[in-house]
Amino acid sequence: MNPAAITIGMMCLGRIDTIEKYALAAVSKMHDVQFYYFIPEDVRAEDQRITGYVMENNQWVRREMAYPDVVHDAIGRKGKLFLEAYAALSHLPFTTDKPAGCGSKLEKFRLIRQDGRFKQIPHRFRAHQHFLKQRGFYDVARARPAIKSNIRLQH
């Protein structure tokens, strides 16, 4: 693994193996990105270390890790259960696929793109946007709200 590689840490509720963890580890390896997962109790704020799990020889191995460059929050900020972990990692960029009211995907994409370190990594939003532009759907999608507002329902 490239020591200068970007590091993604996925904060999870438990240490149970899931297909998502395997998939993220595999895709990360393909793009020379370091990936590990951890639970909130694994975060040590005093020395900015995390006891995470990395994939080695198709097995999850427990390792002491530095804070990641970005945190994928698989928990979705579940109430007040993990305030200490969130406080310790608050200076890092977060992303989530959970509805947590932490900004739109477009807003997150813009922040990641502005960082510059992630520009060589393909992103689903950029690929989707490129596909729509190629197919001529982009302008149609932008015009859709105006079209809908002109439709009158007949009773």
Domain boundaries, the chain: 7-103+114-121, 123-155
What pLDDT score does 50 carry?
Answer: 96
| Mean pLDDT score of the chain | 75
Give the separation between CA 121 and CA 123, rounded to whole angstroms: 6
- Could you report the per-residue pLDDT of 41-73, keeping only the tens digit for each? 999 999 999 999 999 998 999 999 999 999 988
Cα–Cα separations (whole angstroms), residue 88 to 60, 82, 92, 94: 24, 10, 9, 12
Phi, psi of 65 (to 5 degrees): -125, 150
What pLDDT score does 133 carry?
Answer: 56
What pLDDT score does 145 carry?
Answer: 43
Beta carbons of 85 and 68 less than 8 angstroms apart: no
Q: pLDDT band for 36, please (50, 70, 90 cuts).
A: very high
Give the separation between CA 35 and CA 55, rounded to whole angstroms: 8
Predicted model pTM: 0.61
Given the structure tokens 């009773």, which residue do they identify? 155
Identify any residues that bridge with 142 across adjacent strands, giving them in sequence order: none
For residue 145, give the H/E element and its range. Answer: helix 137-149
**What is the CATH code for 7-103+114-121?**
3.40.50
For residue 106, give the H/E element and its range. Answer: helix 105-115
Cα–Cα separations (whole angstroms), residue 99 to 38, 87, 131: 21, 20, 26
Q: Write out the two tokens for 101.
A: 């009211």
